[in-house]
Amino acid sequence: MGDPARKPDFEGLVHEVGAELLRRAAQARPSLFDARGLRGRALARAMQDEQLRAALFRFVDTLPQLRTNGEIAEHLRAYLRGHTLAGAWGRLAASVPLAAAVRASVKRVARNFLVEETPPAIRRTLAGLSRVPAVASFDAVGEAVLSEAEADRYLERNLLLLDCLARDRVAAPNLSIKLSALTPRFDRIDPEGSCRRVMARLEQLMPHIQALGATLMVDMEQHDLKPLVLDTFRALLDRFPGRDWLPGIVQQAYLKGAPEELGELIDEARRRERRICIRLVKGAYWDTELAAAAQRGWPEPVLLDKAQTDAQFERMVDLLFYAGERIYPAIASHNVRSLAYAIARARMHNLRAWEVQMLHGMAEPLMHAVAATGVRIRVYVPTGDLLCGIAYLIRRLVENTANTSIVRQTWLERRDPAELLAPPWPGAASAEEPVSRDGFFNVPALDFSRPEAREAFAAALDTVRAQFGASYPLQIAGAQRGHPDVQESASPAHPSTILGRVEQASVPQAARAVENAIAAFDKWRTVPAEERAALLRIAADLMDRRRHELAAWEVFEAAKNWREADADVAEAIDHLRYYAAQALEIGDWRTTHSFPGERNDLRYEPRGVTVVIAPWNFPLAILAGMTSAALAAGNAVIMKPAQAAQIVAHRFAALLREAGLPATVCQLVAGSGGTIGEFLVEHPAVAAIAFTGSREVGFDILRRASAMRPGQRQIKRVVCELGGKNAIIVDGDADLDDAVADTLSSAFGYQGQKCSAASRVIAVDEIHDAFVARLAQALDAWDYGPPEDPRFVFGPVISAQAKTRIERWIETGRAEAKLYYRGRVPAEGFYVAPAIFIDVDPSARIAREEIFGPVLSVLRARSFEQALDLALDCDYALTGGVFSRLPKHIELARNRFRVGDLYINRRITGARVGVQPFGGMGHSGTGVQAGGPDYVKQFMWTRVVSENTLRHGYVPPQEA
Ligand code: NAP
Ligand code: MG
């Protein structure tokens, strides 16, 4: 390659070292591949067969959650169906207690990689390593940390490890820690708070680290946590500046820009005149990083090409070795080429103070070969419960058995040394196409791990604060101005803060708006779809440019936290663009079928004056969604926003006018639902009503709209999206980390004030208690506070009335069921402490009615089938969720769990336009989903023209 540092003689040295490593290593096999019997057969087959490998890993993943023989047998059969191994294990099931045998088998595989967290097991491991000779770094691995109790437990485990190291006077003691396991709230949106929380527990650990003179190695996690990990690491250096310990941090070579960031870290060590250890790895979350980036529409943070990563790794080795005495390099790899490169580099510079790190149980022959060269080896030893370390185990198994695994290439495939030692040769970076659906993209959410994003958002909040108290007059052309009726809009978190004064329409003024719309419609309906779409796209672009400010308004007016507010604006932009595209697709006249002498054409046409009545909980997305669909279709729209979100609505109306939409095709009529809303619904000139809100109001609108009034010329079309009583089923084999974290955000995100929110959990008996306990503990880790402060994920509910209503529901719940958990909230503002009820009878009102607040009812089911029956025993059918790892149950849910949006093994909120069209059936709505392919057509009707073109037996030529 073109790197001048890589002289030919250096490559020669790399090959020489590498050949020596391979020669020594070839004499043994990694112990993983030595397994005999069923386990050996399973692994051997898994190496050959990618599908079997996936099936086995998925099965192993479920194991910690399975208790009985029956459950294990069922999962085994389900995952291995069609694979030859199924028979072998099936026979095993008949002969011996299956659960014990399978668990023992998996534990034995796990023991290759994971050490039991007991002093004797740790002592045995260290003794084994000293024979290599090698030293160790210990790392307590386990489940996700979701509560303070779990973070305490993680701290205790580390204290125990340090105690073992101290008692055995272990040489070069070294502990690896994961910062995100030291607090349940390691959130990049709140860097100071996250850092403070982690530091509180680190401070308990540090005296022991210092007493041992140990290295504390801070693990690197997913990319979006990196800035937070680095900041916390720096804070740790500030807090413990003494030389009585060695700080360490991991750097991942697969990240784009990794060498530059490593350079900054090295500079920092120099500036501080402080030695730090840097463990250089390639990176273990490649799949996760790519999946997360694709789903969010963010650029991939990782290099796509493996060879690029290898090449970058070598550049970073060079940076570390050139950094001098400030850095202690720890080169972590199982790749012969990478290791040979590092050893050759060290020899060239005559460097002694560095080490190679390898994972426990991986590539032992290579470890021995490296040790023989005289380089210090440190083995990274994960400790913990063998079954709870399953995520760790699976990562190692995937790495070992993947086709690109060097372990596999070296020992199983016995690749040619020249090939294994060749310098990495990055191919042309294959830029992957972002997922595009007919030219439509979801606007990516802001990435608040970036300080620029946080600063821009904070600045927007200030801008908006400066506009508090402004007046928002009516904008109805030609309306008579009387004595204005003004409503003050207050902030739910600070009820005494007046955000603005919004003029409310009187009935005569609303009537004037209808007249304007009637007149405007006549012109607007003839504007070509292209032009309408173009205007909506201009509006979308404007909105995109002002997204921070619009979101900031939602933070104050609707009490949405930063991420939720940003997501709402992003969804609004998506709606504008998506419906614009749909209008183009619907187009103009199309021919249905033509015969000689007969021409048949059809066209979708707008319905007329359309009233849009929106709720406050997605103040922009829903208002903009219904409005833009109706406008795209060619209707003249009158918007009646919710009273609780009128300022955001005013901003939206102003933006549409600014984009160039005629003022009279998109009028805003502020006012109360009971007077103005009803008036508009009943108005005989109104052709369509798009309503999103509660069932109560929705049913009332349907009734009123169906009555024919004097002078009314058409049947009104009512499009309505109503409430939900959404259930999440937690199956016996659910992944608890996911089920708990995702239920928490689905049920309590935005204080439960989402139509999609989970308000029932139906837990299968065997998991019920563990699930509820963990959920309550996890919820308890979060504080409630004003949403403009990014430290708070949870805030107040929308209004004093909402608070009273929800508190009444909680009283009902106390009478009907058992209150299991109640949170704490600030006194000022409309806060409702979250509540979890258990032992909820399916007939209880809190199990059947929409509460629209932070209240969760937990029901118990004997089986998955019963859970499904309970979930379906409901008037609503909006969203639903299932956490299960049994394919049969997932399939059953797919077919029978009939709700508008069913989410499997993920949270049930946050539908994306064009990806998860949104809306329900039953009492939840009319079943045509927003953000879906049929939505715009609801605001249209079809008109057909059939023309006989035959004239006295003559067919005009163009038609024949
Ligand atoms: P809401 O009380 O039903 O109000 C919705 C809208 O209707 C508001 O603009 C309201 O005006 C107006 N309104 C009230 N009474 C009316 C009447 N008699 N005639 C005409 N309009 C009237 O609902 P919300 O409290 O704003 O929102 C929460 C509800 O919306 C929940 O039930 C939730 O599930 C549902 N929702 C459903 C979806 C979905 O897509 N399925 C999405 C979001 C929300 P005022 O503000 O002046 O009362
Ligand atoms: Mg209401």
Measured CA to CA, the distance from residue 109 to residue 739 in angstroms comes to 27
Residue of 564, 627, 678, 755 to test ligand 1 pocket, by largest number of atoms within 8 Å of CB: 755
* Residues paired with 135 in a beta bridge: 378
Ligand 1 mean position, distance from CA 642 (Å): 7
Q: Whose CA is closest to atom 8 on ligand 1?
A: 642
How do residues 563-609 score in pLDDT, each as one tens digit? 999 999 999 999 999 999 999 999 999 999 988 889 999 999 999 99
Ligand 2 mean position, distance from CA 287 (Å): 44
Residue 703 has a CB neighbour count (10 Å cut-off) of 11
How do residues 637-680 score in pLDDT, each as one tens digit? 999 999 999 999 999 999 999 999 999 999 999 999 999 999 99
Q: Is the pLDDT of residue 511 over 60?
A: yes
Q: Is the pLDDT of residue 197 over 90?
A: yes
Listed ranges 128-142, 346-360, 633-647; the one with the highest mean pLDDT: 633-647
Burial of 854 (0-12, 13-18, 19+ CB in 10 A): buried
Ligand nearest to the CA of 700: 1
Ligand 1 mean position, distance from CA 723 (Å): 9
Ligand nearest to the CA of 925: 1
Q: Mean pLDDT across the stretch 506-531? A: 97
In 476-538 the beta strands, taken as DSSP E runs, fall at 485-490, 498-504
How do residues 242-275 score in pLDDT, each as one tens digit? 999 999 999 999 999 999 999 999 999 999 999 9
**Sequence-distant (≥ 6) Cβ neighbours of residue 828 within 8 angstroms:** 494, 495
- Identify the pLDDT of residue 56: 81
- Identify the pLDDT of residue 683: 98
Measured CA to CA, the distance from residue 290 to residue 765 in angstroms comes to 36
Instruction: List ligand 1's pocket residues with C-beta within 6 A.
Output: 613-618, 622, 640, 642-644, 672-674, 677-678, 681, 692-694, 697, 700-701, 721-724, 755, 850, 852, 878, 919, 924-925
From residue 632, give the alpha-carbon distance in Å to each of 109, 512, 514, 584: 60, 23, 19, 9
How do residues 59-81 score in pLDDT, each as one tens digit? 888 888 888 878 888 888 888 87
Average pLDDT taken over every residue of the chain: 92
Measured CA to CA, the distance from residue 252 to residue 486 in angstroms comes to 58
Measured CA to CA, the distance from residue 803 to residue 819 in angstroms comes to 18
Is 721 assigned a catalytic role? yes
- Identify the pLDDT of residue 864: 98
Instruction: Give yes or no for a contact between 330 and 342, defined as CB atoms under 8 angstroms apart.
Output: no
Orientation of helix 646-659 relative to helix 621-632, angle to 10°:
40
Instruction: Give yes or no for a contact between 72 and 733, defined as CB atoms under 8 angstroms apart.
Output: no
Structure tokens at 885: 């790892």
Global confidence as pTM: 0.91
Ligand 1 atom closest to the CA of 615, numbered from 1? 26
Q: Which of 503, 564, 721, 850 is catalytic?
A: 721
Identify residue 642 by its one-letter amino acid code. Answer: A
DSSP 750: G
Residue environment code for 806-820, b if the CB has 16+ CB neighbours within 10 A, otherwise e: bbebbebbeebbeeb
Q: Mean pLDDT across the stretch 808-831? A: 97
DSSP 426: P
Cis omega (within 30 of 0) on the bond before 834? no
Spatial CA neighbour of 47 closest among 85, 101, 100: 85
How do residues 917-945 score in pLDDT, each as one tens digit? 999 999 999 999 999 999 999 999 999 99
Helical segments of 609-671, H only: 621-632, 646-659
Q: Is the pLDDT of residue 205 over 80?
A: yes
Q: Is the pLDDT of residue 336 over 80?
A: yes
Place of tokens 């219904």: 626
What does residue 793 show for φ and ψ, rounded to 5 degrees?
-85, -30
Ligand nearest to the CA of 645: 1
From residue 693, give the alpha-carbon distance in Å to each of 258, 524, 614, 673, 696: 48, 28, 7, 11, 9
How do residues 275-284 score in pLDDT, each as one tens digit? 999 999 999 8
- Identify the pLDDT of residue 36: 61
Helix (H) or strand (E) holding 691: strand 686-692
Q: Whose CA is closest to atom 34 on ligand 1?
A: 723
**Sequence-distant (≥ 6) Cβ neighbours of residue 59 within 8 angstroms:** 75, 76, 79, 80
Residue 220 has a CB neighbour count (10 Å cut-off) of 22
Burial of 704 (0-12, 13-18, 19+ CB in 10 A): middle
Local confidence band at 611 (pLDDT 50, 70, 90 cut-offs): very high
Instruction: Give yes or no for a contact between 335 and 328, defined as CB atoms under 8 angstroms apart.
Output: no
Instruction: Give yes or no for a contact between 400 and 360, defined as CB atoms under 8 angstroms apart.
Output: no
- Identify the pLDDT of residue 435: 45
Terminal alpha carbon distance of the chain? 67
Ligand 1 mean position, distance from CA 504 (Å): 18
Q: Mean pLDDT across the stretch 98-116? A: 81
Instruction: Give yes or no for a contact between 278 and 330, defined as CB atoms under 8 angstroms apart.
Output: yes
Instruction: Give yes or no for a contact between 725 and 759, defined as CB atoms under 8 angstroms apart.
Output: yes
Measured CA to CA, the distance from residue 174 to residue 180 in angstroms comes to 19
* Residues paired with 762 in a beta bridge: 729, 859
Q: Whose CA is closest to atom 26 on ligand 1?
A: 615
Q: Can you tell me whether residue 555 is helix, strand or coil?
A: helix
Dihedral of CA atoms 96, 99, 100, 106 in degrees, nearest 10, equals 120
Instruction: Give yes or no for a contact between 321 and 352, defined as CB atoms under 8 angstroms apart.
Output: no
Q: Mean pLDDT across the stretch 772-795? A: 97
Q: Which of 164, 755, 788, 850 is catalytic?
A: 755
Ligand 1 mean position, distance from CA 680 (Å): 15
